[in-house]
Amino acid sequence: MAKRIGILGGVSAESTVEYYTRLIRGYFARQGNDHYPEIVIYSLDFRHFTNFEDNGDRDGYIAYIMTGIRALERAGAEFILMSANSPHSVFEELETQAVVPMLSIVNATAEDAKRLGLKKLLLLGIKYTMQSTFYQKACRGMGIEIVTPVESEQDEINGIIFEELARGIFRDETKQRLLQIIAGYPVDGVILGCTELPLILKSNDATIPLLDTLELHTQAVLDYALAEAVE
C-alpha cells in the first residue's frame, strides 16, 4: 500500500481542495487503478494562521502549525505536506519537531528549476512570502537568482490572492494583470509561490516557464507515497 499522506491545509481551503484532487488524479494517471492513497487532512483556521504572519509572531506561528502537524501524526499520517508556500519559512523548525517526515514545496520547486536550467526567477506569492528569504536560500546553492516585484506590485498581488483567489474568485482581468507584472521583469522563469496562483495562471499563459508549485509538490508527494509501495 502507498504511505498514508497527511495534508496540513486550510491555508487556503481553495488550494487544499486542489491538492486532494490532484493527488487522486495523479495517482490514477500513474497507477491506472483506484487503490488511492489514504489521505488525512487537518484544516487550519485561515485567518488565525495569517494573523501570525502579519504580526511577525514567529513563535506563535510555529506553535500553531505544530498543532496541525501533531493532529496529523495522531491520525496516522506517515508523512506530511503543508499545502501552502508561506509556512515553509519555518520549515526547518517544524521538520525538527515533527515525528514523521515532511516534504518541502520549496525543495521540489528548486529541483525543477535546476532541471530546466533556469538561472533567474521571479517569485510571486503573498507579501509575506515575497519578503521572506526561504526561496532564495534554497536556490542560491543551485546558482539560481530570485527576484521579487517592487513593493507596490507586491501589495497588489497580495490583495489579489487574499481578496479573490483564496475566495474562489478567478477573473480574466486579474490573470491579464498578473501576466503584465510578469512581463515587466527580465527573467527566464516564474515561481508561482502561492498555491492559489496556479488556479488562475496556467503553463501556456506565458512564453517562459511558470513553475506550478502545487503541481510540483503533489508529484513529489506521490513519488514518496508510492516508493516501495506494495500492491
Task: Locate 88 and state its grid cell.
Answer: 515553509
Q: What is the pLDDT of residues 86-141, one digit of tens each?
A: 999 999 999 999 999 999 999 999 999 999 999 999 999 999 999 999 999 999 98
- Mean local confidence (pLDDT), 164-186: 98
Q: What is the pLDDT of residues 51-64, one digit of tens each?
A: 999 999 999 999 99
Concatenated DSSP letters of 145-214: EEE---HHHHHHHHHHHHHTGGGT---HHHHHHHHHHHHTS--SEEEE-STTGGGT--GGGSSS-EEEHH
- Mean local confidence (pLDDT), 70-81: 98
DSSP, collapsed to helix, strand or coil, labels residue 6 as strand
- Distance, CA of 176 to CA of 182 (rounded, Å): 10
| pLDDT for position 193 | 98
Asked if domains 5-104+216-226 and 106-212 share a fold, the reply is yes
Domain 5-104+216-226 has CATH 3.40.50.1860: yes
Q: Domain residues of the chain, as ranges?
A: 5-104+216-226, 106-212
Confidence of residue 200 (pLDDT cuts 50, 70, 90): very high
| pLDDT for position 230 | 45
Tell which CATH architecture fits domain 106-212: 3-Layer(aba) Sandwich (3.40)
Confidence of residue 227 (pLDDT cuts 50, 70, 90): very high
Torsion on CA atoms 11, 12, 16, 19, rounded to nearest 10: -90
| pLDDT for position 109 | 98
- Mean local confidence (pLDDT), 182-190: 97
Task: Locate 164 and state its grid cell.
Answer: 479573490
Tell whether the model's pLDDT for residue 15 goes beyond 70.
yes
Task: Locate 177 and state its grid cell.
Answer: 494583470
